[in-house]
Structure 1
Amino acid sequence: MKTTINQVSNYVNQEVTIGVWLANKRSSGKIAFLQLRDGTGFIQGVVVKADVDEEIFKKAKSLTQETSLYITGVIVEDTRSPFGYEMQVKNLEIIHEAKDYPITPKAHGTEFLMDHRHLWLRSKKQHAIMKVRNQIIQATYQFFQQEGFVKVDPPILTGSAPEGTTELFHTKYFDEEAYLSQSGQLYMEASAMALGKVFSFGPTFRAEKSKTRRHLIEFWMIEPEMAFTTHEESLQTQEKYVQFIVQSVLNQCELELTTLERDINKLKAIQAPFPRITYDEAIDLLKEKGFTDITWGEDFGSPHETAIAEHFDMPVFITHYPKAIKAFYMKPDPDRDDVVLCADLIAPEGYGEIIGGSARIDDLELMEKRYEEHHLTGDAYEWYLELRKYGSVPHAGFGLGLERTVAWICGVDHVRETIPFPRLLNRLYP
């Protein structure tokens, strides 16, 4: 019976064949322990000299790292293993012998591993991170579908900057100027006016020359947009969504979290509602914590966000930022024109902002004023203005950065490990 490692629990005390790679091995005179992987998981294969032909045992002892093979044996329960099962090997057939595999079990530097990212992905920790990432993606689709959202795919090539910034990748679109999208939000607003509640899930690009552990040049965003929705209702959706994906990973990725040595008690504590703090209150809190130089009107950096998150030890919303440091489309607080109805969700444990969201301006006259203030003239933004001309409604939305969320849930230090092939300031290979 041919099967995969993640299905072996269905074949206890039965003989099966699995296509695998050799991740590692150790052996004594009479037993060889093979650490095997097949993409679905990892399992130990035990080859006992007395139980197999001499040629099979000789092959087992001479196997090199990352050699591919078909391995046949009986699946047995193993309470010592986190996986719970192992294979008593009866036969093996080498498919391709790997020689001089560059990533050995010894320690390697980050740059070396990044140069060999195409191979580093095979390691147990990287495998676990990718499985958690996949689970978050699956849970995202499940959550928004059951909440009545429609998946919409905004364009990647755009004729304007959604955030009104210059940190864009420029390209030619035949005889026109074009940019790689830094957000699908404006298109999602248009989609919400047609479909009510929508979400996108796609790549975004930021030409920001940053080398921090929280930044990538190319990353993936989940961007929901909701018609007939207030800022408060949007916040409730955000915390419900984050709680849902954390719970989904806890339920489905126990083995991966164990591999990553993640403190799952910290994840189990993630329960809505999340604490909230206004920007004004955050300024006061930071000054109490020793950030005496910060002044009202400054945006928060990583140390500020970390200090605020540590104070609550939970995801925390920072709301009502100054209008001057936020995007042109954010709706002002009706009681206070110098701040907007927005929020950033800061993850605990120093992982920074994972969500940014706001109520959107729905008043035509106010949006025209914003256009003037931000010099958004010409045809590029006319279609966005028309959303306020033809049946405008209160609406709100947000964007969650997938890689930062994966980093937080996995407990890894740098976002470069949370995407299969990261694009960094000085890295376009492999």
Structure 2
Amino acid sequence: MYKTTISEVHKYVDQEVRIGVWLANKRSSGKIAFLQLRDGTGFIQGVVAKSDVEEEVFQLAKSITQESSLYVTGSVQKDERSPLGYELLVNGLEIIHQATDYPITPKEHGTEFLMDHRHLWLRSKRQHAVMKVRNEIIRATYEFFNNQGFTKVDPPILTGSSPEGGSELFHTKYFEEDAFLSQSGQLHLEAAAMALGKVFSFGPTFRAEKSKTRRHLIEFWMIEPEMAFYEHEDSLKVQEEYVSYVVQSVLENCQIELKTLGRDTSKLENIKAPFPRITYDDAVKLLHEKGFNDIEWGDDFGAPHETAIAESYDKPVFITHYPTALKAFYMQPAPGRPEVVLCADLIAPEGYGEIIGGSERIHDYDLLKQRLDEHNLPMDAYKWYLELRQYGSVPHSGFGLGLERTVAWISGVEHVRETIPFPRLLNRLYP
């Protein structure tokens, strides 16, 4: 007998195995019991036939309760009807713990109830699939940037200043000083890029934004590359190659999960670089053509505007060259057009909105100092950031990808609250 996991049963066809599992669900008749089993690596059906096992084992199969833990032994059989391609002909059951009154039953539950029981909801087949897609995106991210010669850098979470210069900051005391939870690791990554060339970070970021939309979380994770000697166009190329790589990796390695989620994979198969581009100027014209007459040049785009623009394309689309007044202080002005900056937002298809924001950074000392003054930002807090422009300044660019929005888009789930293990929302800090 071999001890294994559900994801590895394909190695043991027609052989007997032992697996530690939980009972996700079951149904039984007088002569046969079907056990839906999970072990964290996947789901498999265990078939217990009364004629093939001792009476004690069959009665145990009929009486075991949802989410009880057990060791199951049996023979691995091919089964084309199963999403996994295999099932287990059970000949032995050993109860580890018998669960009682499991609150999430196979009936419909409201969202708030499920969120209150998020620590248990994660066990469901759908949530398991989303977390597996999330993990594959993370795995492919590290693979892509490591293959491209990037160095992983971990910027601080506690900071004394804000990259965005906005008010959506979580304030805390750092002994006798004021500190903030990081909105982005970008500024520190720029320093790292001046030392290491091409760097990226992957970590939590925090926005004290009182928003309740399906695209917003208070705490979310960002992938933030920063690249020395990369101008705006160079950065766009990295972005589209990276997103393409991640999508194709999920398609290749998460087929069962995408099927569980009911994802239309034909829409993902088309996600390959290059991606279309539209300037902010042309985006405003496009919105007017689509009936959004309320939008004027200089206005920021909301979710309905981004969705309307994305509907014109079957791939993610870059919106470039936003007005300077709409963007952060550190963005490089476009040559000959100081009223717009060398930046881009990448808008995902199917109404999922912006998944990447990026730009070329200002590398001129005097211009950056001027921008800090214009935004009324404290010079003392940004002294070190300015010094990057004093000692061997070079053109450089970077971007940030929001992991949860990307997971939502690729997996096809509607709300980002399902794309992170324990979401932090405006009204939720539990569990």
- What TM-score do the two structures reach when normalised by structure 1? 1.00
Is the aligned partner of 1:240 residue 2:241? Answer: yes
Aligned equivalents of 1:74, 1:287: Cα separation in 2? 64
**Residue 137 (structure 2) aligns with:** 136
Q: Deviations over 1:119-176 (max 9, x none)?
A: 0000000000000000000000000000000000000000011110110000000010
Aligned equivalents of 2:89, 2:9: Cα separation in 1? 12
What secondary structure does 1:379 align onto?
coil
Aligned equivalents of 1:9, 1:212: Cα separation in 2? 42
Is the aligned partner of 1:257 residue 2:258? Answer: yes
Query: 5 Å matches for 1:43-122?
Result: 43-122=44-123
Q: What amino acid maps onto 1:190 in structure 2?
A: A
Aligned equivalents of 1:80, 1:406: Cα separation in 2? 28
**Residue 209 (structure 2) aligns with:** 208
Q: What amino acid maps onto 1:19 in structure 2?
A: G
By how many angstroms is 1:375 displaced? 1.3
Q: What amino acid maps onto 1:206 in structure 2?
A: R
Q: Deviations over 1:359-401 (max 9, x none)?
A: 0000011111111101123321100000001100000000000
By how many angstroms is 1:335 displaced? 1.7
Is the aligned partner of 1:373 residue 2:374? Answer: yes
Aligned equivalents of 1:377, 1:124: Cα separation in 2? 50
Q: What amino acid maps onto 1:156 in structure 2?
A: I
Is the aligned partner of 1:339 residue 2:340? Answer: yes
Is the aligned partner of 1:225 residue 2:223? Answer: no
Aligned equivalents of 2:280, 2:393: Cα separation in 1? 29
Q: What amino acid maps onto 1:144 in structure 2?
A: F
Aligned equivalents of 2:292, 2:388: Cα separation in 1? 42
**Residue 268 (structure 1) aligns with:** 269
For the 8 Å contact 2:23–2:36, the answer to whether it is kept is yes
**Residue 180 (structure 1) aligns with:** 181
Identity of aligned residues (%): 76
Aligned equivalents of 1:395, 1:37: Cα separation in 2? 47
Aligned equivalents of 2:64, 2:353: Cα separation in 1? 44
**Gaps (5+ residues) in structure 1?**
none
By how many angstroms is 1:228 displaced? 0.5
- What TM-score do the two structures reach when normalised by structure 2? 0.99
For the 8 Å contact 2:38–2:44, the answer to whether it is kept is yes
Cα 1:206/1:246, change in 2 over 3 Å = same
Aligned equivalents of 2:83, 2:23: Cα separation in 1? 19
**Residue 392 (structure 1) aligns with:** 393
Aligned equivalents of 1:109, 1:394: Cα separation in 2? 51
The number of equivalent residue pairs is 430
**Residue 404 (structure 1) aligns with:** 405
Q: Deviations over 1:267-301 (max 9, x none)?
A: 00111110000000000000000001111101100
Q: Deviations over 1:214-251 (max 9, x none)?
A: 00000000000000011000000000000000000001
Aligned equivalents of 1:277, 1:348: Cα separation in 2? 14
Aligned equivalents of 1:361, 1:379: Cα separation in 2? 19
Aligned equivalents of 2:314, 2:6: Cα separation in 1? 37
**Residue 197 (structure 1) aligns with:** 198
Query: 5 Å matches for 1:23-38?
Result: 23-38=24-39
Aligned equivalents of 1:34, 1:312: Cα separation in 2? 45
Aligned equivalents of 1:368, 1:77: Cα separation in 2? 67
Aligned equivalents of 1:185, 1:221: Cα separation in 2? 10
Deviates more, 1:21-30 or 1:369-378: 369-378
Q: What amino acid maps onto 1:76 in structure 2?
A: Q
For the 8 Å contact 2:352–2:408, the answer to whether it is kept is yes
Aligned equivalents of 2:313, 2:106: Cα separation in 1? 39
Aligned equivalents of 1:82, 1:187: Cα separation in 2? 45
What secondary structure does 1:388 align onto?
coil
By how many angstroms is 1:313 displaced? 2.2
**Gaps (5+ residues) in structure 2?**
none
Aligned equivalents of 1:372, 1:108: Cα separation in 2? 53
RMSD of aligned residue pairs (Cα, Å): 0.5
What secondary structure does 1:108 align onto?
coil
Aligned equivalents of 1:290, 1:111: Cα separation in 2? 36
Deviating above 2 A after TM superposition, structure 1's stretches of 4 or more consecutive aligned residues are none
For the 8 Å contact 2:372–2:379, the answer to whether it is kept is no
By how many angstroms is 1:185 displaced? 0.2
What secondary structure does 1:95 align onto?
strand
